[in-house]
Amino acid sequence: MEARRRLPDRVDSACCAGPAPAGLGRGVAEFNAGRYFEAHETLEALWLAEPGDRRLLYQGILQVGVGLYHLRRGNYRGGVNVLGYGLDKLGRLPGRCLGVDVAGLRAAATDCRERAIMLGPDGLAAFDWALTPTIALEA
């Protein structure tokens, strides 16, 4: 069995420099369109191919999307938990990584998670999907 990789506490900003792979733009567009399943598939391919700490960006976005997918389907526990896992990964990154506004995504996803927690498992029907996070990506 493969040993689990220990996550770095913080990722050096040099890791986040340079051009973004083409698939990142596609994954961000899918995420922003609310197509979280498709975004998961696109970002998972990038994550699995990345040997370095950049993989935290892909995995963090992917998990935020999966958390939102769960919330949309009424799975409170899965949504809140997976959003938390994604936020943990994104919290290890600088505010901008490969052109992604990580700080903005973290803030919006944190707000979204906190709203879901306030509503509780029986209140998800009142969740305001207009406030769902989107990702800003510099060209």
What domains can be seen in the chain, in order of their start residue?
A: 21-131 (1.10.3450.10)
pTM reported for the whole predicted model? 0.91
3-state DSSP assignment of residue 97: strand
Alpha carbon distance 51, 63 (integer Å): 18
* Model confidence at 126: pLDDT above 70: yes
* pLDDT at residue 50 in the model: 86
* pLDDT at residue 117 in the model: 97
Written as one letter, the residue type at 129 is W
* pLDDT at residue 112 in the model: 96
Alpha carbon distance 36, 108 (integer Å): 16
Residue-wise pLDDT for 89-117, tens only, equals: 999 999 999 999 999 999 999 999 999 99
Task: Give the pLDDT mean for 56-84.
Answer: 96
